[in-house]
């Protein structure tokens, strides 16, 4: 039986790339992440396994007459034109639960690490600057207010950690409220976005990138935050207007920012955020743990299911 061709942009964990794909598929490698490089790579692909880089739109799909499924390694599908795929009868699948624990743990850790200057403390200790212990007295999380914007899987897990673990006051904003039972269980309550901005000591963005969330955090919304507040973005870079954020941080309009995702990725050393000391930056890796990278690679299972004429377990679009 002829094997299917799967196009990859970047390697994924062997549990998906080798163990799941190798029996049914041959792996093709994209020439790069630019549109012309992708288009030049897709003509023989039956399936695509994509990570965060490389945009797969209608023109790309039209160059792949055999294409039946696009698998997204992770949750967000903003680099895939889902509507275009649906119009062409192409499945889009992802791994919605895979990075939940990793991102929630990263956020909870960062709420402590940024104000307590954990990175600077390590550097100071190694250089003999013992006096840092007298200069840094950061607030505890106990009793502080955490506002979660977007109460999906990650938002709920973060709420559980921070409300029940750190005993923070947790509020959330979401178009779709949790049930009263779940709110009671997590000790959280739903408020409007303005209330999140004006009352939270910490704000976490956990929304997909949509037209309605593009630059959700901008000069206006930043101005409504408390001057000591810390905002964290582990969703998608364009959810924050990065230029407005830099201005707010430079002017000490807010207390700080935890940024794992950027408007332009990969971020480069000349990004103005890199010049600031009231930020904690990371290279879009909050969702990467030893466990999560294996779970995300399991999108290969749904790719194989679709190619073998079966229904996927985690479809983003459909039914087709």
pLDDT tens readout for residues 139-190: 999 999 999 999 999 999 999 999 999 999 999 999 999 999 999 999 999 9
| Residue 196 within any structural domain of the chain | yes
How far apart, in whole angstroms, are the C-alpha atoms of residue 119 and residue 112? 11
**pLDDT of amino acid 18:** 87
| Residue 314 within any structural domain of the chain | no
**pLDDT of amino acid 64:** 97
| Residue 27 within any structural domain of the chain | yes
Q: Does the annotation count 265 as an active-site position? A: yes
* Alpha carbon distance, N-terminus to C-terminus of the chain: 25
Q: Are residues 9 and 61 in the same domain?
A: yes
pLDDT level of residue 19 (50, 70, 90 thresholds) = confident
Q: Are residues 120 and 262 in the same domain?
A: yes
Q: Are residues 131 and 21 in the same domain?
A: no
Q: Are residues 160 and 255 in the same domain?
A: yes
CATH of the domain at 213: 3.40.50.720
Catalytic residue, chosen from 72, 73, 236, 288, is 236
Q: Are residues 64 and 181 in the same domain?
A: no
Q: Are residues 183 and 108 in the same domain?
A: yes
CB 98 within 8 A of CB 119: no
Q: Are residues 85 and 143 in the same domain?
A: no
Q: Are residues 78 and 111 in the same domain?
A: no
Catalytic residue, chosen from 265, 275, 291, 313, is 265
Please state, rounded to an integer, the average pLDDT across all residues of the chain.
96
Q: Are residues 136 and 234 in the same domain?
A: yes
Q: How many domains does the chain have?
A: 2
202-205 and 188-190: which strand pairing?
unpaired
Q: Is the pLDDT of residue 1 over 70?
A: no
| Residue 286 within any structural domain of the chain | no
Q: Are residues 234 and 301 in the same domain?
A: no
Q: Are residues 105 and 184 in the same domain?
A: yes
| Residue 86 within any structural domain of the chain | yes
CB 7 within 8 A of CB 26: no
Q: What is the pTM of this model?
A: 0.93
Q: Are residues 223 and 271 in the same domain?
A: yes
| Residue 22 within any structural domain of the chain | yes
List C-alpha distances in Å: 252 to 199, 217, 256, 269, 279. 17, 16, 8, 22, 12
Q: Does the annotation count 189 as an active-site position? A: no
pLDDT tens string 51-63: 989 999 999 999 9
pLDDT level of residue 320 (50, 70, 90 thresholds) = low
Collapse the DSSP code of 108 into the 3-class scheme (helix H, G, I; strand E, B; otherwise coil) and give the result. Answer: helix
Q: Does the annotation count 284 as an active-site position? A: yes
**pLDDT of amino acid 78:** 93
Domain that holds residue 130: 100-281
Peptide bond connecting 103 to the previous residue in cis, omega within 30 degrees of 0: no
């Amino acid at each position: 039986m002829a094997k299917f061709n799967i196009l990859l942009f970047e390697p994924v964990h062997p549990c998906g790339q080798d163990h799941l794909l190798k029996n049914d598929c041959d792996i093709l490698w994209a020439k790069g992440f630019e549109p012309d490089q992708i288009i030049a790579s897709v003509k023989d692909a039956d399936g695509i396994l994509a990570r965060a880089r490389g945009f797969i739109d209608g023109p790309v799909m039209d160059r792949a007459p055999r294409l039946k499924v696009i698998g997204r390694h992770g949750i967000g599908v903003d680099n895939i034109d889902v509507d275009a795929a649906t119009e062409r009868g192409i499945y889009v699948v992802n791994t919605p639960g895979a990075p939940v624990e990793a991102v929630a743990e990263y956020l909870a850790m960062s709420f402590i690490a940024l104000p307590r200057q954990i990175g600077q403390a390590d550097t100071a200790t190694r250089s003999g600057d013992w006096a840092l212990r007298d200069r840094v007295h950061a607030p505890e999380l106990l009793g502080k207010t955490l506002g979660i914007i977007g109460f999906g899987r990650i938002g709920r897990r973060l709420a559980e950690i921070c409300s029940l673990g750190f005993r923070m006051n947790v509020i959330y904003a979401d178009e779709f409220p949790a049930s009263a039972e779940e709110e009671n269980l997590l000790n959280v309550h739903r408020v409007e976005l303005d209330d999140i901005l004006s009352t939270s000591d910490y704000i976490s963005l956990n929304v997909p990138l949509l037209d309605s969330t593009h630059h959700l955090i901008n000069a206006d919304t930043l101005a409504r935050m408390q001057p000591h507040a810390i905002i964290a973005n582990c969703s998608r870079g364009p959810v924050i207007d990065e230029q407005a954020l830099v201005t707010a941080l430079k002017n000490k309009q807010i207390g700080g920012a935890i940024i794992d995702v950027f408007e332009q990725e990969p971020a480069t050393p000349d990004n103005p955020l890199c010049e600031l000391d009231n930020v904690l930056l990371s290279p879009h890796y909050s969702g990467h743990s030893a466990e999560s990278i294996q779970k995300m690679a399991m999108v290969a299972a749904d790719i194989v299911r679709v190619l073998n004429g079966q229904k996927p377990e985690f479809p983003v679009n459909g039914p087709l």
